[in-house]
A = this chain, B = another copy of it.
Amino acid sequence: MKSITKISSFKEGASIQGFYLCVEKHLRHTRAGDLYLDVILRDNSGTVHAKVWDKVDEMNDKFFSGEPVAVKGNVETFQDRHQLVIKKINKASVQHYGRYGYDPALIVPVSPYDPQKMWKKLVSIIGKMKDAHLKKVVSTIYRENKDQLLIHPASVSMHHNYRSGFLEHVLSMAKIADTLAPFYKLNKDLVMAGVLLHDIGKLKEISSELEADYTDDGNFIGHIVIGRDMVNDVIKKIKGFPKDLQKKLDHIILSHQGRYEWQSPKQPAFEEALLVHLIDNLDAKMNLMKLAIEEDHSDGHWTDRKNIFRTALYKGADGPK
């Protein structure tokens, strides 16, 4: 098979093949009355409009909006933009197209870090925990949810909102906590358990399909309370888990957003809880600024003001790094 072409590498006149996410599909009529398919495709490098002019009915049956697709076609230009004329299209799945190079990571934004390597580092961090009870609850939950943890985003539309973003965010926080918990003379294992579990409810709040969205549980209950349930369900099975420690862990999860208006039903009430919140906030903000600068498309050295910081950000004299 020919090599896969990313959307950002499309060139006028080229005939390409590749895997993309179909984000919109409409059956329309031309002015002349003929049917055609009006399609929008996306991969982790960009977005392109596409058309199916021939065998429209047959092609229309092969895929739905929201599905990954395997495509062959020719790149044209229409009104200053690339447009793909689709010659062949099929629903893509790892089962049928994996051997041709299909990987969901091709079609959605992904963490710049390898999930398997991040996983190993987290396993090592958990391995170094000394409090047997906290170690037990963390390792149980991570082991039982490994598959999902490897790919989950950290949010639907805020920080680390991409494949394996959850792991990236938790690993960042764990590294920072590793330094700061002893620095402030705190219970390091409690801080680390808080870091590893504070957002665990997001596994059930967000559906980690190709397009992240809120689940019913996410909308009814929310990740904060879901996460505490998950942790308490495991704790109940651990003999002799100290009551005081359980309540502190509960509190860390319930208070980690730090403010009531950010949907935390509690504000941090002891130093370990406060540190988890502050590290969470620090790592999220650093990621958000990085994304805001990367995603800006305005001219000049400065972004526009429509980002989450509502101020112009400096992209550097030579553009973003």
* Contacts from A to B (Cβ < 8 Å): 26-29, 77-80, 172, 175-176, 179-180, 183-184, 214, 216-217, 219-222, 224-225, 228, 244, 247-248, 250-251, 254, 260-271, 274-275, 278-279, 281-282, 285-286, 289-290, 301-302, 309, 311-314, 316-317
- Contact check, A28 vs B317: say whether CB atoms are below 8 A apart: no
15 CB-based A-B contacts, threshold 8 Å: A184-B286, A219-B302, A221-B247, A221-B266, A222-B254, A224-B265, A260-B261, A266-B311, A268-B309, A269-B311, A270-B313, A271-B290, A274-B286, A278-B281, A278-B282
- Contact check, B221 vs A250: say whether CB atoms are below 8 A apart: yes
Query: In whole angstroms, what is the CA distance A247 to B184 when docked?
Result: 33
Query: In whole angstroms, what is the CA distance A271 to B286 when docked?
Result: 7
Query: In whole angstroms, what is the CA distance A172 to B271 when docked?
Result: 16
- Contacts of A317 on B, CB cut-off 8 Å? 244
Query: In whole angstroms, what is the CA distance A225 to B176 when docked?
Result: 30
Task: Supply 5 further A-B pairs (C-beta < 8 A) apart from A220-B248, A263-B266, A266-B311.
Answer: A222-B254, A267-B309, A269-B302, A269-B313, A282-B282
The answer, among B172, B274, B279, B286, for a CB contact under 8 Å with A275, is B286
Q: Assess A269 versus B80: contact at CB under 8 Å? Given A179-B176, A260-B261, A278-B285.
A: no
- Contacts of A220 on B, CB cut-off 8 Å? 247-248, 250-251, 266, 269, 314
The answer, among B262, B282, B285, B290, for a CB contact under 8 Å with A260, is B262
- Contact check, A219 vs B269: say whether CB atoms are below 8 A apart: yes
Query: In whole angstroms, what is the CA distance A316 to B316 when docked?
Result: 45
- Contact check, B267 vs A79: say whether CB atoms are below 8 A apart: no
Query: In whole angstroms, what is the CA distance A290 to B271 when docked?
Result: 7
- Contact check, A261 vs B264: say whether CB atoms are below 8 A apart: no
Name the distance in Å between A200's Cβ and chain B's nearest Cβ. 15
- Contacts of A261 on B, CB cut-off 8 Å? 260-261
- Contacts of A311 on B, CB cut-off 8 Å? 266-267, 269
Query: In whole angstroms, what is the CA distance A220 to B282 when docked?
Result: 22
- Contacts of A176 on B, CB cut-off 8 Å? 179-180, 183
- Contact check, B285 vs A274: say whether CB atoms are below 8 A apart: yes
Query: In whole angstroms, what is the CA distance A313 to B225 when docked?
Result: 19
- Contacts of A27 on B, CB cut-off 8 Å? 80
- Contacts of A219 on B, CB cut-off 8 Å? 269, 302, 312, 314
Q: Assess A254 versus B80: contact at CB under 8 Å? Given A301-B216, A313-B269, A314-B269.
A: no
- Contact check, B244 vs A225: say whether CB atoms are below 8 A apart: no
